[in-house]
Amino acid sequence: MRNVKLIIEYEGTAYAGWQIQPGVRTIQEVLEEKLAVILRHPARAAAAGRTDAGVHARGQVVSFATSSSLAPERIRSALTSMLGPEVVAVDALVAAAGFDARFSASARVYRYVVDTAEVPDPF
């Protein structure tokens, strides 16, 4: 088995956050569904941090273990083509043994933007 580290970004308006929850669509759920197709086996994705419903992410670090010999760049490309445009994998690489996006994180940055304009910003 080898560890793969992904950097993903997503526009989370249509999602109920990162973590799998019954009866709602989540980023982790759709990512794991597509990984299973690409890798031809189930893969459990761990993220450096979890987002809430409707929240977007840039530079989200995700890791998973795989027995697949697919090159990381092929995994990245396939994920983006299957998930885009709302969710994209911007980078992928083989990570060191024992790397876990959640437990290996040394820092997390959260930025909250609240739109108080008279006319809402469509972005």
Catalytic residues: 52
Under the phi-then-psi rule, with left for phi > 0, alpha for psi from -120 to 50, and beta for the rest, what region is 59?
left
**Amino acid type, 39:** L
